[in-house]
């Protein structure tokens, strides 16, 4: 299980991760078998944000649930047992195919990198990212899935990631639905938000995401969905992310850290992210044992 000194344990409860959650959700949907599963087995298109953010605590639980984390991981895995069917060309897919399940897991690892790169005052070094990736491999082992699909090292993971972005991912119907939601949220009322509030806030949120939030997307993904990105957009995005990075430490602790992580820190303690990063530099990084 994960605990004090682990980079994932020390950082993954930070609410800044929500700023990249739509990016990682979109990348998941762009993997054809995963997108097809959502298309056939989920009401995601009716309530994309609610479902996206509802899944985050379950994933976090596999890091923060202490002695029950392995049980949590198996439960998360088993949620996907019945998600299977036919692709448009007649081939079969299953959510628990190792290639499909690992792609989803890869986006959760990328979320740690992307949050750091965009919203920390000092992003993770390559050495720190390599340590996080080693933890991410051990995190994968908690699901009891095949290791044959897992890149052995962080550089190999980067090669895998770039291959997926440029050769495998595509604008699937599910992915297009999520982008359409951000382009025109007023046409997709959400059952968890009063209609009058959604009509007022939806268009503003849409423009904010398209003008600022889309800066967190890989450029190749913006191109696939024809999301315009100008120098003015980049300047606005850089101003936003810099503001987040430098003002975040002043925010109240309960606002910065999610409940599951706060509970783990009360139960098992915490060294803090700065101390965990120092452990990596010194070569004494705490790495989670396989569950």
Q: Domain residue spans in the chain?
A: 7-171+258-281
- Residue 143 burial (C-beta neighbours within 10 Å; 0-12, 13-18, 19+): buried
What are the backbone dihedrals phi and psi of residue 122, each rounded to the nearest 5 degrees, phi first?
A: -135, 105
How long, in residues, is the chain?
291
HSE (CB half, 13 Å, CA atoms) of 75? 12
Chain segment 24-45, per-residue pLDDT in tens: 999 999 999 999 998 888 765 5
Query: What H or E segment, with its residue span, contains residue 239?
Result: helix 231-247
* DSSP 8-class letter at 212: T
Please give the residue that has the higher pLDDT: either 21 or 199: 21
How much is the pLDDT for 289?
Answer: 43
What is the dihedral angle through the alpha carbons of 161, 167, 169, 173, rounded to the nearest 10 degrees?
A: 180
Helix, strand or coil, per DSSP, at residue 14? strand
pLDDT single digits (tens) 157-187 = 999 999 999 999 999 999 998 888 777 755 5
In which band, very low, low, confident or very high, does the pLDDT at 283 lie, cut at 50, 70 and 90?
Answer: confident
Report the percent of the chain where pLDDT is more than 70: 85
Q: How far apart are the first and last CA of the chain?
A: 6
H/E run at residue 93: strand 92-94
Residue 84: pLDDT above 90?
Answer: yes
């Amino acid at each position: 299980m994960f605990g004090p000194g682990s980079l994932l344990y020390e950082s993954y409860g930070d609410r800044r991760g929500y700023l990249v959650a739509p990016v990682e959700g979109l990348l998941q949907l762009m993997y054809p078998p995963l997108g097809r599963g959502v298309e056939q087995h989920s009401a995601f298109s009716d309530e994309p944000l609610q479902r996206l953010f509802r899944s985050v605590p379950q994933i976090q639980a596999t890091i923060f649930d202490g002695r029950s984390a392995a049980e949590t991981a198996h439960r998360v895995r088993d949620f996907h047992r019945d998600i299977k069917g036919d692709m448009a060309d007649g081939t079969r897919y299953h959510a628990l195919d190792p290639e499909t399940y690992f792609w989803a897991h890869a986006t959760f690892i990328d979320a740690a990198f992307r949050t750091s790169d965009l919203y920390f005052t000092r992003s993770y070094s390559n050495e720190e990212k390599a340590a996080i990736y080693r933890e991410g491999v051990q995190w994968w082992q908690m699901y009891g899935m095949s290791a044959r699909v897992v890149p052995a090292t962080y550089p190999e993971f980067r090669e895998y990631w770039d291959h997926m972005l440029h050769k495998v991912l595509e604008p699937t119907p599910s992915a297009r639905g999520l982008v359409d939601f951000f382009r025109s949220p007023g046409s997709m009322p959400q059952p968890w938000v009063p209609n009058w509030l959604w009509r007022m806030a939806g268009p503003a949120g849409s423009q904010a995401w398209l003008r600022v939030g889309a800066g967190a997307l890989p450029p190749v993904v913006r191109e696939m969905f024809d999301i315009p990105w100008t120098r003015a957009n980049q300047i606005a995005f850089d101003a936003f992310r810099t503001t987040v990075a430098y003002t975040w430490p002043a925010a109240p602790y309960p606002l910065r850290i999610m409940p599951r992580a706060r509970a783990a820190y009360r139960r098992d303690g915490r060294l803090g992210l700065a101390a965990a990063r120092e452990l990596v530099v010194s070569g004494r990084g705490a790495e989670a044992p396989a569950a």
